[in-house]
């Protein structure tokens, strides 16, 4: 999907390769996990797909799977990697490690809320999607202001990648549960820091 705006920065938004929790359909949130074997294979394929895409800097979330993905994408190329703490994933509190299916079965009202109005969802002991969005918006604006002359890549796990995509594209958030697992996918977006500031 390409979203164009005049005088915009080009942003390659990349989800890291899958972890064991992604493979199992579990909520990983801020748990720091390496990629699974399947995740490493996904990133090998991703690196081939993006080998000719001109990127000056890869900004990455601090989690291990995102850093591993960024390093693999930068291998053999003159690309800077910068770890951004504010890109850490949404804190899912007591939901960490739970199966998404478990939340659907045991908390049907909350599950439906995640489908219909995800900004208001706040796991027990965690942060709301709205708070996570506010946290990452400032960092995204800063990155976009620095990158008007070059294309950049952002490696960030879902559901935070889903939040960032909403901020950059201006699209409404929809269905949290479809954005809980990573699989080394990417989207090419275009935006400005002003557009993010207004969203």
Provide the residue range defining the domain that includes 63: 9-198
- Tens-digit pLDDT profile for residues 72-118: 999 999 899 999 999 999 999 999 999 999 999 999 999 999 999 99
φ and ψ at 171, to 5 degrees? -80, 150
Domain count, the chain: 1
Cα 199 from chain centroid (whole Å):
17
The pLDDT assigned to 150 comes to 77
The CATH number of the domain holding residue 193 is 3.40.50.1240
55-83: per-residue pLDDT in tens? 989 999 999 999 999 999 999 998 999 99
4 found inside a domain: no
pLDDT tens string 151-187: 889 999 999 999 999 998 888 888 899 888 889 999 9
Average pLDDT value over all residues in the chain: 89
CA distance 179 to 169: 16
The answer as to whether 65 is a domain residue is yes
């Amino acid at each position: 999907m390409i979203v164009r705006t005049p005088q915009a920065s080009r942003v390659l938004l990349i989800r890291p390769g899958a972890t064991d929790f992604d493979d199992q359909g579990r909520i990983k949130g801020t748990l720091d996990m390496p990629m699974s074997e399947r995740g490493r294979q996904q990133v090998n394929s991703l690196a081939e797909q993006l080998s000719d895409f001109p990127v000056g800097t890869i900004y990455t979330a601090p989690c291990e799977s995102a850093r591993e993905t960024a390093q693999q994408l930068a291998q053999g190329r003159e690309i800077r990697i910068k770890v951004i703490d504010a890109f850490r994933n949404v804190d899912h509190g007591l939901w960490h490690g739970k199966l998404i299916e478990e939340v659907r079965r045991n908390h049907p009202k909350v599950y439906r809320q995640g489908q219909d109005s995800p900004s208001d969802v706040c796991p027990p002991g965690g942060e709301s999607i709205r708070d996570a969005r506010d946290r990452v918006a400032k960092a995204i604006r800063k990155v976009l202001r620095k990158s008007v002359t070059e294309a950049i890549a952002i490696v960030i796990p879902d559901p935070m990648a889903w939040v960032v995509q909403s901020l950059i594209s201006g699209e409404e958030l929809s269905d949290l549960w479809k954005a809980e697992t990573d699989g080394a996918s990417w989207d090419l977006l275009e935006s400005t820091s002003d557009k993010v500031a207004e969203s």
